[in-house]
Every structure is written in C-alpha cells, then in structure tokens.
Amino acid sequence: MNLNQGAVSSLTVTDETAETFDHEEMLGRVASTLRRADLAVLAAKEPPLRKVGVSGSLYAVLANLEVTPGLTGAELARVVGVTPQAITPLVVKLVERGLIERRTHPRHANIQELQLTDSGRRETARADRIMLHLDNHIRDSLGDEDYQRLRVLLDVVVKSMPSWVPPPDESS
C-alpha cells in the first residue's frame, strides 16, 4: 500500500492565524477523497487476492493479458501505470509459475509478446471472480444509476489530468 495523502478526521479545528484556508474543505477535495476511496478498495481486495495466490500487481498483469493477449512488457507497463523495469520481475514470477508464456515477436528478435497459458487463464478467472464480487458490492451500495455515473465521472477525471499544468511557485 502506498500512502500519499488520504485523510479523514472528525475534528473541529479551533481556529488559526490569518493566512489559513478552509481546513474542513481541504480534506474533502476530490483529489483527497479519490485517494481515500482507492486506498479503501485496495485494502479490501488485497487479502482475498493473495488467498488465491496473486498480489494486486500480478493480478493487474494477468487481467490485462486476458483482455489484450500479446502485449509486450513495455506496453504492459504503460497500460498498468508503472515503469518497464517494474514489469520484468512480475513477468519472471508469472512465467516461473507457468501462468504466462513469453514468445519472441515474429519480426522483432528483441521484444517478447506475453500471453496467458491455459493454467494462467484458470487462475485469472479465480481472481477475477473476487473482483467481480467486489464490484457488485459497490454497485449494490450505489445503485445502478449512480454506479454508472461514477464510472463516467472517473473517466472524465482520468482524461482531464494530462491537460493540467501546475501553477508557478510564487514563494515571493
């Protein structure tokens, strides 16, 4: 688990000096709430995933290979959101377990396409049953309509991030 923000507390701040902003609002911002939500989901799904033998990272790799067979390590890294170097150990581990196969690309002697084995497909299905169950729980909590809405809103956030430019640091 990675910390990075995420906060919640039911404390009523007394007051502060002049240059202080709205503390109540601070931790209620979307960026904070988003992080908390992700942490909560993360903490919930990790234990059951490990019970079927995969860490969250490994599941991410397997799930993406299930959807998009033939991905290379670098492609996988981008899709999953990490550096290419971080993928290698995961791939090695999965190959050792016989869940995925490395196959050299037909036209590129250098790069390797990755693919699930039959055994890997079975394991992935087991893990995905858990994830599906979790998602259904969320859907039940929100209701169908809000569930869909949440997906859409989150997608907007994802797409809007690249166009953000940080403010200049005016520490005058």
Partner DNA sequence: TGTGCCGTATCAAAGTCTTGATACTCTCGT
Partner DNA sequence: ACGAGAGTATCAAGACTTTGATACGGCACA
11 binds DNA (CB under 7 A): no
**The token pair that represents 16 in the structure block:** 């502060």
Instruction: Evaluate whether 130 touches 49 at the Cβ level (below 8 Å).
Output: yes
Shortest Cβ distance from residue 82 to its own copies (Å)?
4
Instruction: Evaluate whether 128 touches 63 at the Cβ level (below 8 Å).
Output: yes
Q: Is 33 exposed, middle or buried (0-12, 13-18, 19+ CB in 10 A)?
A: middle
Shortest Cβ distance from residue 18 to DNA (Å)?
31
Shortest Cβ distance from residue 170 to DNA (Å)?
25
Shortest Cβ distance from residue 4 to its own copies (Å)?
4
- Spatial separation of the C-alpha atoms in residues 152 and 164, rounded to whole Å: 19
What is the three-class DSSP state of 46? helix
- Spatial separation of the C-alpha atoms in residues 17 and 35, rounded to whole Å: 28
Q: How many residues bind its own copies (CB under 8 A)?
A: 86
Q: Which of 54, 59, 113, 114 is the binder for its own copies (CB under 8 A)? A: 59
Complex with its own copies: residue 109 or 164, whichever CB lies closer:
164
- Judged by CB under 7 A, the stretch of 10-18, 68-76, 119-127, 148-156 that binds DNA is 68-76
Complex with DNA: residue 9 or 85, whichever CB lies closer:
85
Site for DNA in 108-167 (CB under 7 A): 108-112
Complex with its own copies: residue 96 or 169, whichever CB lies closer:
169
Instruction: Evaluate whether 27 touches 9 at the Cβ level (below 8 Å).
Output: yes
CB atoms within 10 A of CB 142: 13
- Give the footprint of DNA on this chain (CB under 7 A): 1-4, 55, 57, 72-75, 81-86, 88-91, 107-112
